[in-house]
Amino acid sequence: MQISRFLCVLILTASAASTGFAARADDAPVLAVLEYSGGLLPKRADIRAKMGAVRSPFANKPRAVWILREGDTLKQVNPPPERLIQLYQVSGNDTQVLCTINVKYARGPRGWRPAFFINSQPNIIWDGKEFIPLETSQTAQAFVDIPKASPANADGFYHSLAFGLASGTSHIDIWDVQ
């Protein structure tokens, strides 16, 4: 009995480490979880609150609907800072902003919960020092549709939502947390 229990714990630990579920203490908290349905279980990727661009594990995987779920609930006195997540899709040498997600924390019974607002026509970008207006040619040309979402809070932010391009499939190749 003890051997089977040990083997079960060993297998679960190994599978968690290989799928990225094992977090290290030095990892930034999870802002959001990006997922899509595919096969038996949904495919998920953590978007961490670490500034900078990250290559998506879903690069070149077009989907009609993406799901954004809330990340870690933070237990602290003051609200965490607001963040921006920019999602990009790449076609050849052309990188296009798919949408910008504003992340604002809302007080919940267990701490500060991330909530999201999607701007499908972003007009600014953070260069590390200041916000810079984008030219019209650099903004997304397609409208992002939200077919399903949790109830919005008073500010219009959602704790989870499904989104995609109204004109068809999209792929998320890079995200940039600002």
What pLDDT, in 10s, does the model give residues 12-60? 444 444 444 444 545 899 999 999 987 788 899 999 999 999 999 999 9
Sheet holding 160-165, edge to edge: 43-48, 30-36, 66-70, 160-165, 144-149
Which stretch of 23-32, 107-116, 122-131 has the lowest confidence by average pLDDT? 122-131
Helix, strand, coil percent values for the chain (each to nearest 5): 10, 45, 40
Q: Two tokens at 61? A: 């995987």
Q: Is the pTM of this model over 0.75?
A: no
Q: What is the pLDDT of residues 65-108, one digit of tens each?
A: 999 999 999 999 999 999 999 999 998 888 888 889 999 999 99
Contact 89, 170 (CB under 8 A): yes
Q: Which of 26-30, 56-60, 138-142, 146-150 is predicted most confidently?
A: 56-60
The SS3 assignment for 6 reads helix
**What beta strand segments (E) does the chain contain?**
30-36, 43-48, 52-55, 66-70, 83-91, 94-108, 111-119, 124-126, 131-133, 144-149, 160-165, 174-177
Domain chopping of the chain, boundaries: 26-177
Residue 129 has pLDDT above 90, yes or no: no
